[in-house]
Amino acid sequence: MIIIKIDIVGGSIAGLNTALSIKKYNKNIKVVVHEKHKIIGFNHEGRRCGEVHSMKWGWSKGKPNEKSIYNEIKKVETNIGNKKYVSYLKLGVSSMLNRQEFISQMGKEAEKNGIEIYTNDKVKSLNDLDGDYIVDASGCPSSIKRELKIKHGLANLTYQQTIEDCNWFKSDTIRTFFTGISGYFWAFPRNPEKKEVNLGVGTALKENINLKQMLEQFKKDNNITGKVNYVLGGMVPTGLQRPFSYKNILFVGDAGVGAFPLTGEGIHRALISSDIAGECIANGYPKKYPHRIMQEFIKWELIGKTFLGINYILTKIGPKILLSSIDYFTRFNFFVVKSGDYETKEHND
């Protein structure tokens, strides 16, 4: 017997995982996923990411299978001005996802579980939906929040190039660079067959900023070579994006919990929030969702936003003091989250 119907807006990580989570707890609920693109996963949104997926702190549910991994990551280099910290990771803690394949597999799994997926189906208005509950997994900026005139919270702007035959390709290493601007640059190894690197920049500053120019300058300063074969960018929501629910609507992934404030990683959080949303809906306590989200994310929200707030002020004073603050905080962070998953050393080379 079908008890209720749920409409999910967005057929990416958060949307498909909410659908799977609902079915895990209650097979009788009718679940419909609406995705605006024609194909699940293999579309521009499926690609709009640096594609690092960390499974630290023992959280392994979103473990991708071999086909959806480009590279296993063994080293994380954090460059702060002239300093370099290298974290050595245990195998399986972090990987470079073939994110399009990862989402496509979730879509197939969803269909096997009786979830209805409508593609080429852009939800233009909430009036188009008749579900008892609606899950907004439309990313950032959320099209549903826009309709409800709810503004998104803090968000960083990003710009990324995928560079083929790149001289910076290192299959097992992800690198971040703090250079004294608000935000950071990253270099992540993508498809090894093409020696691709996802090279990007993200910042909280909105005025007088030309991200493409900044990235081109970074490439020049570091002699990074190769052919640009894909360009993307957009908003990365920085931490929690309140409200988490509104009437019969639950906001998941970028639309609700945003990305990790310190790193901009949102895949992990999209999976966690959608697990929780599915559980709350399927078990009949959707009103508990906001509270469960706060319990899960409040610690890093407080730490992350404090750090970002301080850095925002220091950006105005000067790059030297900003870099000292980032260095201090990075050491603190390594100390606090020492988890057995990795070990960090300072390098002077």
Residue 336 burial (C-beta neighbours within 10 Å; 0-12, 13-18, 19+) = exposed
The position carrying tokens 């299959």 is 171
User: Could you tell me which residues come within 8 angstroms of residue 99 by beta carbon, excluding any fewer than 6 positions away?
Assistant: 41, 46, 47, 49, 51, 53, 68, 267
C-alpha 307/C-alpha 238 separation (Å) is 12
Contact 244, 254 (CB under 8 A): no
Q: Between 133 and 325, name the residue whose CB sits nearer to ligand FAD.
A: 133
Q: How many residues bind ligand FAD (CB under 6 A)?
A: 40
> Segment near ligand FAD (CB under 6 A), from 50-58, 69-77, 288-296, 326-334?
50-58
End-to-end alpha carbon distance in the chain? 65
Stated as kind and residue range, the H or E segment containing 272 is: helix 267-282
Q: Between 34 and 74, name the residue whose CB sits nearer to ligand FAD.
A: 34
The yes or no reply on residue 141 touching ligand FAD (CB under 6 A) is no
The yes or no reply on residue 270 touching ligand FAD (CB under 6 A) is yes
Minimum distance, C-beta of residue 173 to ligand FAD, in the bound complex (Å):
14
Choose which of 233, 243, 290, 319 interacts with ligand FAD (CB under 6 A).
233
Choose which of 51, 101, 196, 279 interacts with ligand FAD (CB under 6 A).
51
The yes or no reply on residue 187 touching ligand FAD (CB under 6 A) is no
Partner residues linked to 237 by β-bridges = 155
Minimum distance, C-beta of residue 324 to ligand FAD, in the bound complex (Å):
26
Which residues from 143-182 bind ligand FAD, rule CB under 6 A?
143, 158, 160
The yes or no reply on residue 48 touching ligand FAD (CB under 6 A) is yes
CB nearest ligand FAD: which residue? 266
Choose which of 22, 73, 89, 137 interacts with ligand FAD (CB under 6 A).
137
C-alpha 239/C-alpha 258 separation (Å) is 5
Q: CB 231: neighbour CB atoms within 10 A?
A: 12
Residue 118: C-alpha distances to residues 14, 33, 111 (Å): 16, 6, 11
Q: Between 272 and 323, name the residue whose CB sits nearer to ligand FAD.
A: 272
The yes or no reply on residue 56 touching ligand FAD (CB under 6 A) is no
* Amino acid, res. 282: A
C-alpha 198/C-alpha 190 separation (Å) is 6
Minimum distance, C-beta of residue 252 to ligand FAD, in the bound complex (Å):
7
> Segment near ligand FAD (CB under 6 A), from 46-54, 85-93, 106-114, 325-333?
46-54
Structure tokens at 81: 């001005």
The yes or no reply on residue 249 touching ligand FAD (CB under 6 A) is no
| Residue ranges in contact with ligand FAD by CB under 6 A | 9-15, 34-37, 45, 48-53, 122-123, 137-139, 143, 158, 160, 200, 232-234, 236, 253-254, 259, 264-268, 270
